[in-house]
Amino acid sequence: MVQQGDRGERRISAVFLGIAAVMGVTGWAVWTGYAASTGLAVFLFVTSAWIVSLCLHEYAHARTALHSGDLSVGAKGYLTLNPLKYTHAMLSIVLPVIFVILGGLGLPGGAVYIERGRIQGRWKHSLISAAGPLTNVAFAVVCTAPFWLDALDGVPLAFRFALGFLALLQVSAAILNFLPVPGLDGYGVIEPWLSYKVRREVAPLAQFGLIAVFALLWIPEVNGFFFDFVNAVLGKLGVSDLETYCGRELYMFWQDGSSVCDVSG
């Protein structure tokens, strides 16, 4: 029997519901054009949707850990989808949002704290790490569904562009998260299969992994190669470079946009 406390640990938080409500309302505003500024509506819609995906990313880690043996995740509040409950709210939510605002990059954040000693089996440890970025993959599939299903008839241009940019964020986040770099989920997938000696030597590098990835992406050649790959993936999903470009232009409404992205007509 589930106790009352257990139900409380799994109850969706008002904070998350509020963020989801903002996503729904602003998404409706983008779709209908019922907004004083289309760019501002796109900005609020994409940002709130991005935060929702970050919450689901961390929830996937925690939920998988719960079913793998770490019962402590409930008491920590990780199952409520409340971003304020994360061990590193700055890394998990604030910094990823800042990266999107500054450069339109879906950079991964920090993870919830899992008590790995409670979990037995290397496959379980790997699955816990993979669960987060797989959520981004699922989110990307949903965002791009109208494109690869050829169901864009009747979809307003502004909403179409916003979905394209949101898909770019999800794809880039999934790719970056799956990199086998200490501190990222990709390394967490392979770490259980490494020798104790290797894990011990690599452990101190985990705190610098995200910083190293961010620094590498500042190199024009690396950045260009990365986004070429992201756009190639999006192309397979039916999303064109123009759609992601215009989505980014609308999102950064405070900048001068290109005429090719005019959605007024």
Percent of the residues in the chain that have a pLDDT greater than 90, as a whole number: 66
Region 37-65: mean pLDDT is: 93
Region 139-167: mean pLDDT is: 95
Of the candidates 9, 58, 191, 243, the residue annotated as catalytic is: 58
Q: What is the pLDDT of residue 110?
A: 63
CA distance 174 to 151: 25
| Residue 1 pLDDT greater than 60, yes or no | no
pLDDT: is 55 or 10 the higher one? 55
Contacts of 32 (CB under 8 A, 6+ apart): 156
The two structure tokens encoding residue 237: 């999903």
Burial of 219 from C-beta contacts in 10 A (0-12 / 13-18 / 19+): exposed
Region 51-70: mean pLDDT is: 93
Q: What is the pTM of this model?
A: 0.91
Query: Which three-class secondary structure state does DSSP give residue 250?
Result: helix
pLDDT: is 36 or 155 the higher one? 155
Burial of 40 from C-beta contacts in 10 A (0-12 / 13-18 / 19+): middle
| Residue 2 pLDDT greater than 80, yes or no | no
Region 69-84: mean pLDDT is: 91
Region 71-81: mean pLDDT is: 91
Q: What is the pLDDT of residue 95?
A: 78
Region 236-252: mean pLDDT is: 94
Q: What is the pLDDT of residue 259?
A: 67
CA distance 112 to 109: 10
- Of the candidates 207, 177, 175, the residue with the CA atom closest to the CA atom of residue 189: 177
Q: What is the pLDDT of residue 4?
A: 42
Measured from the Cβ of residue 135, the count of other Cβ atoms closer than 10 Å reads 24
The two structure tokens encoding residue 107: 């950079």
Q: What is the pLDDT of residue 105?
A: 80
Region 150-176: mean pLDDT is: 94
Start-to-end Cα distance in the chain: 58
CA distance 244 to 91: 25
CA distance 62 to 128: 8
Q: What is the pLDDT of residue 210?
A: 81
Q: Verify whether residue 58 is a known catalytic residue.
A: yes
- Of the candidates 144, 148, 178, the residue with the CA atom closest to the CA atom of residue 161: 144
Q: What is the pLDDT of residue 17?
A: 97
Contact 142, 26 (CB under 8 A): no
In sequence order, which ranges of 33-121 are alpha helices (DSSP H)?
38-68, 72-75, 89, 95-103
pLDDT: is 113 or 192 the higher one? 192
In sequence order, which ranges of the chain are alpha helices (DSSP H)?
4-10, 14-32, 38-68, 72-75, 89, 95-103, 122-148, 157-177, 185-190, 196-202, 206-216, 220-236, 241-251
Q: What is the pLDDT of residue 109?
A: 65
CA distance 234 to 228: 10
> Among 4-8, 54-58, 95-99, 111-115, which stretch is predicted with the lowest mean pLDDT?
4-8
Q: What is the mean pLDDT of the chain?
A: 89
